[in-house]
Amino acid sequence: MNLENQIICADAVEVMRQMPDECVDMIMTDPPYGTNLNNGDLQSKLHVILSEGRRGAPRPIFNDGKEATPLFERVVAESKRVLKRGAVMCVCVSGGGGMPAPIYALWSLILCRYLHFIQMVIWDKGKIGLGWRYRTSYECILVASKGTPFAWYDKTLTVENIIRSYELGIPKIIPSANQHPSEKPEKLAEFFLRLHSKEGDLVFDPFCGSGSFLSCAKKMNRRYFGIDLEPSYVEMSIRRLREASAPLIQSQLSATEIGLNQQKLYGDD
């Protein structure tokens, strides 16, 4: 199975079950949080009123309901197998409250169950966010590794567990109609890729969305492998990666390489 510089439109767990053991140098991903973001409900309307100020058609995200946490656990279980020894997994997750249970806490415990939990990093997104009380202005990035010692390439001894947007220039994105509804900035991925990977490493994103993390990996001379269930977002990834520096991407169809029905496989030559 060719993993190098590929994007697959398919179910992440099904694909991961067919990946070789210890083939991934780093995972950087932004799974669905289970908040039913942008599905036309009250929360998505609040997103318009309190944040964007624009109205548009609902664009729900696959697996963004109560199924999100069980799905995340299945992905983490497979991640333990496909990660190399000492490789790191970085996971974006919502911060604060407003849910039946704190997702960042549940997901931290899941990571502890399968991997070595390193840190919860706070990303200060700058502009005030959703809500009526304690309006959300940050998200979390959970960092875990397959054993210790884990991959760490910083030599400055100055890396904090808070990413301050006004210092590092990583503010949140208010997505337009032609962006993924939970788009993350490439600079957010760059922050972690510089810490936990090196040139030539294989960076894997099992929920790649519109490909911001994969694009960053490509620009940083990492190999990449991504999966997403939504064809339109995979197409966004292809367009984005075509514009990223390094070889152009071409698309091809494959329904046999990993035995999935009607799968789309995209990759560099």
Residue 224 lies in a domain: yes
Inform me whether the pLDDT recorded for 143 exceeds 90: yes
CA proximity to 139, closest of 156, 127, 160, 124: 124
Q: Which of 18-27, 177-186, 201-210 has the lowest mean pLDDT?
A: 177-186
Position 147 scores a pLDDT of: 98
Tens-digit pLDDT profile for residues 29-58:
999 866 555 544 444 545 444 444 454 555
Q: What is the CATH number of the domain that holds 186?
A: 3.40.50.150
Inform me whether the pLDDT recorded for 252 exceeds 50: no
Residue 39 lies in a domain: yes
Q: What residues make up the domain containing 189?
A: 6-268
Inform me whether the pLDDT recorded for 28 exceeds 80: yes
Confidence of residue 99 (pLDDT cuts 50, 70, 90): low
How would you label 242-268 residue by residue, b for 16+ Cβ within 10 Å and e otherwise? eebebeebeeeeeeeebebeebbbbbb
Tens-digit pLDDT profile for residues 63-91:
555 777 899 999 999 999 999 999 999 99
Confidence of residue 183 (pLDDT cuts 50, 70, 90): confident
Residue 84 lies in a domain: yes
The pTM (predicted TM-score) of the whole model is 0.83
**Selected residue with higher pLDDT from 219 and 166:** 219
Residue 1 lies in a domain: no
Position 59 scores a pLDDT of: 52
Q: Coil, helix or strand for 187?
A: helix
**Could you give the number of structural domains in the chain?**
1
Position 97 scores a pLDDT of: 67
Phi/psi at 72 (5° precision): -60, -40
Q: Which residue, chain included where needed, has tokens 């994969």?
A: 214
CA proximity to 216, closest of 185, 261, 239: 185
Provide the token pair at 37. Answer: 């973001």
Q: Which of 5-9, 26-30, 40-44 has the lowest mean pLDDT?
A: 40-44
What is the average pLDDT value for the chain, to the nearest integer?
Answer: 81
Position 38 scores a pLDDT of: 52
Tens-digit pLDDT profile for residues 189-246:
999 999 999 999 999 999 999 899 999 999 999 999 999 999 988 998 988 998 887 5
